[in-house]
Amino acid sequence: MSQADILAAIAAERQAQDNKWGEQNHHTLEWLSILMEEVGEVAQAINEYHWRNAPMANIRKELIQVAAVAVSALESIERNYPMEPNQ
C-alpha cells in the first residue's frame, strides 16, 4: 500500500466509525482508554501473526483502526477543548 492508500484506508475507517456510532465526544481519559484498547488489538494481531500464522492483513486492519481512533480523538478535542489564543 502506498501512503495515499493508507491515508485513504484511515479515512474510510473514520467514516465507518461515524456510521456505526455517530459523532463521538469523550473526555480525554475515555479517549485514552479507547485508544489503548485498540493498541492492545494490534499487539494481539502481531502475536497471532508470529505465533499462530495469522494473516498480516489483521495487523494492517488493527493499525488502521488505531490511526482512525487517534484522528477521532483529535476531532473530539478540537470540538470540545478549544485552544487558548496563546496556544
Positions touching Mg ion (CB under 5 A) are 38, 41, 62, 65
Provide the minimum distance between the beta carbon of 53 and Mg ion in the complex, in angstroms, as a whole number.
20
* Residue placing its CB nearer to Mg ion in the complex, 50 or 79: 50
Q: What gap in Å lies between CA 56 and CA 49, rounded to an integer?
A: 6
* Residue placing its CB nearer to Mg ion in the complex, 61 or 75: 61
Phi then psi dihedrals of residue 81, to 5 deg:
-130, 70
* Residue placing its CB nearer to Mg ion in the complex, 21 or 87: 21
Provide the minimum distance between the beta carbon of 41 and Mg ion in the complex, in angstroms, as a whole number.
4
Q: What gap in Å lies between CA 25 and CA 77, rounded to an integer?
A: 8
Residue type, 44: Q
